[in-house]
Structure 1
Amino acid sequence: MGFKNSLIDYRDNKKEFGLDIAKSKLICRILFSIDKKFNWNLPFKKYWIKNFETKEKLVLEYLEENYNYILNEYINSCLNTDKLEDSNKVWVCWFQGMENAPYNVKLCYEALKLNFENKDIVVIDETNIKEYVHIPNQIFTLWKSGRISNQLFSDIVRTDLLFYHGGYWVDATCLFFKKLPEMDSKFSVFYAKNLIDFPSDYNYIDIKKWEAYFIYSKKNNLFFKYLNDCLIEYSLNNKLLIEYLLMNYFAKIGRENVIYFNTQDKMVPTNNTQCEILKRSLNSHRDEFEISEDTYFVKLSSNEVYSSNKDSLFNKLLQKNKLNNEMENL
């Protein structure tokens, strides 16, 4: 992002969120950009990383102050867990339609079908979304107008689907290379947790503790109703997105304040610890990286090109899915 755009964002953030948040976001954006140019090796990290901790604190305070009334509804209500129901659904979303998706997304979809072969996989796109969700028309209008980003809208969609239907939400760029154990009888909620450190993790709140690109939930889990309520209220009341991973902030607030949400989180074991760091070794030799037993998928980028060399780690994962021969047809 250019200097001029950064100043425009600073001005807009100051107007909507106040000076402290605007200044903190600008500083962090500059530091993140410089660190990326240094290949994530900017010196004296233990000193400058404190700016990101300050930003998280300020954003959390803003959200707690302005949306505490939603949280209180869940703190003070009796959370009925008797209505939790198993679900056979797998939700994957590409708004433009899978036929128009880039190569990596199509590849991930083929792998998904192989590893979730006994599940009901539903691809959500612009043509069928209203058949499944309970989202207010005003939110659709704001999304179509561009005031709500695709990122925020997809978070509203995923929390809606998980609450009203349950099942698995799998981001379209998650490449599964082996089958998951059955979740239905073991967990009311499950997500990638306790990830191994990766270079840019400091920029995203709780990114190693709670990953939203792969989630399983039973139907009627109020954790996702809480998140959906927060995201919709935020969208109706704010013109700007305060942080890219807004849902992670609301999730952290919920886990730390609602006993039932916290209890659910503690029951989720460490899993898929390498799903981020693995991406950074996909072009390496297949034997240079040992994949942990708890890791079932890797998070790709939608348009990044990965090595087709037969000895690459990426090719090894494709062989696990027997996808090598199908790649040319995607």
Structure 2
Amino acid sequence: MKKEITQSVIWTMWWQGESNAPPTVKACIHSMRKNSGNHPVIVLDQSNYKKYVALPQYIEKKREKGVISLTHFSDIIRINLLNAYGGLWLDSTIYVNRQISEEVFEKNFYTVKMNMPNKGVSNNQWCGFLLGGTAHNVIFEKQAELLCRYWKNEDELVDYLLIDYFFYIIFNEIKQANRELDEVTEYAGNVLKMQEKMAETTYEVSDFPIFSKLNWKSSVELSNNRKLTLYQKILLDSGIVDDSQEVYCKDKKYKRKIKSALRHFRKFIDKKRIKKYGFGIQFYGLANDLLRTSNGKCAYFFAKQYQNLVLKYLGRYCGAL
């Protein structure tokens, strides 16, 4: 039985429960509550999400079997929540730096749009980790519909950023959706900059824009020549303690890159994927993955070829939007 929501809500989620979240996530949720104005912050987890959203049984079963990862199950939940209730979805790693303007909650559609072109299919015109708008908005309605169609027939992701591809199709095929995206004003600042500066000591929390996307998985230096790092300042501001004593290590970064490259290569030679998606998606997908941090012409070429093939594959689920 879904709960009745009578005002705009800030939604977020940590599957294992807020009390079990890492320090960065706890700090982010604290910042949401601190700067929510009169809007309630609802933290969903594995024990309470069904109070707010009812998903098809085939999706629930695929999540239980691990076919749908928790990351992508979160994608499905956020879209269905926004479609049912509206409000503002913030990933649990979004740090809120000052009170959220009421204008955000009054818009039919809201997201972070940056004038920083990139190779991704969204081209920084929207961010899946920060979405808002009114209930039953055509954007959320169609996205929820497409996700259901996809997972009813599929047992794996054609691409990690599935919702971005569906957003791309929706914005290109539905005039109303495109108009609402056009009405989103450009975001003042870089939503990723705070994460890049976490180990530095010369920055204050107030130096960053209202919303910042952090990464709880990144190792951060807890002290720097006895001066407080930005990470420590965030924790102090939130009254949260990180007793892990984990120190940033470049070697870990390189090891993660090697593991990532091996994972992408294994996906590339997967015979089942080649048979299902075709050699083109596999080949350009591997090139795109390996060049994802590059901004050269070659990287853009491979990214575009890959995106066109993925969009063509997903066309089977879109029909007449």
Fold agreement, TM-score > 0.5 = yes
Query: Unaligned stretches of 5+ in structure 2?
Result: 245-321
Contact 1:175 1:299 in 2 (8 A): yes
- The 5 A counterparts of 1:171-190 are 171-183=91-103, 186-190=106-110
Q: Which residue of 2 aligns with 1:93?
A: 13
- The 5 A counterparts of 1:39-58 are none
Q: 1:243 to 1:189 in 2, by over 3 A?
A: same
Deviations 1:227-263 (A, max 9, x none): 0111111111112201111000010111011000000
Contact 2:12 2:92 in 1 (8 A): yes
Contact 2:37 2:99 in 1 (8 A): no
Contact 2:7 2:39 in 1 (8 A): no
- The 5 A counterparts of 1:72-221 are 87-183=7-103, 186-194=106-114, 196=116, 202=119, 204-206=120-122, 208-221=124-137
Greater relative contact order (Cα < 8 A, sep 6+): 1
Distance in 1 (CA, whole Å) between partners of 2:221 and 2:111 is: 28
Question: 2:182 aligned to 246, 258, 266, which one?
Answer: 266
Query: Unaligned stretches of 5+ in structure 1?
Result: 1-84
Q: Secondary structure at the match of 2:88?
A: strand
Q: Secondary structure at the match of 1:139?
A: helix
Distance in 2 (CA, whole Å) between partners of 1:290 and 1:118 is: 22
**Aligned partner of 2:28: which letter?**
C
- The 5 A counterparts of 1:219-238 are 219-238=135-154
How far the C-alpha of 1:315 sits from its partner, in A, is 4.4
Contact 1:286 1:314 in 2 (8 A): no
**Aligned partner of 2:160: which letter?**
Y
**Aligned partner of 1:105: which letter?**
V
Q: 1:86 to 1:327 in 2, by over 3 A?
A: same
Distance in 1 (CA, whole Å) between partners of 2:48 and 2:105 is: 30
Computed over aligned residues only, the root mean square deviation of the Cα atoms, in angstroms, reads: 2.7
Q: 1:288 to 1:170 in 2, by over 3 A?
A: closer
**Aligned partner of 2:215: which letter?**
S
Q: Which residue of 2 aligns with 1:313?
A: 230
Question: 2:165 aligned to 249, 255, 262, which one?
Answer: 249
Distance in 1 (CA, whole Å) between partners of 2:31 and 2:178 is: 32
Distance in 1 (CA, whole Å) between partners of 2:96 and 2:185 is: 19
Deviations 1:118-171 (A, max 9, x none): 211111111111111131122101111111122221111101000101101010
How far the C-alpha of 1:287 sits from its partner, in A, is 4.5
Contact 1:133 1:157 in 2 (8 A): yes
Distance in 1 (CA, whole Å) between partners of 2:212 and 2:105 is: 25
Contact 2:10 2:90 in 1 (8 A): yes
Contact 2:8 2:39 in 1 (8 A): yes
Distance in 2 (CA, whole Å) between partners of 1:327 and 1:118 is: 27
Contact 2:205 2:234 in 1 (8 A): no
Relative to the length of structure 1, the TM-score reads 0.65
Deviations 1:180-208 (A, max 9, x none): 211267411111111546xxx53x32151
Contact 1:163 1:220 in 2 (8 A): yes
Distance in 2 (CA, whole Å) between partners of 1:185 and 1:305 is: 34
Distance in 2 (CA, whole Å) between partners of 1:289 and 1:91 is: 23
How far the C-alpha of 1:265 sits from its partner, in A, is 0.3
Residue 301, structure 1, aligned to residue 215, structure 2: yes
Distance in 1 (CA, whole Å) between partners of 2:16 and 2:181 is: 33
Q: 1:101 to 1:317 in 2, by over 3 A?
A: closer
Q: 1:111 to 1:191 in 2, by over 3 A?
A: same
Q: 1:142 to 1:272 in 2, by over 3 A?
A: farther
Q: Secondary structure at the match of 1:228?
A: helix
Identical counterparts, % of pairs: 25
How far the C-alpha of 1:279 sits from its partner, in A, is 1.4
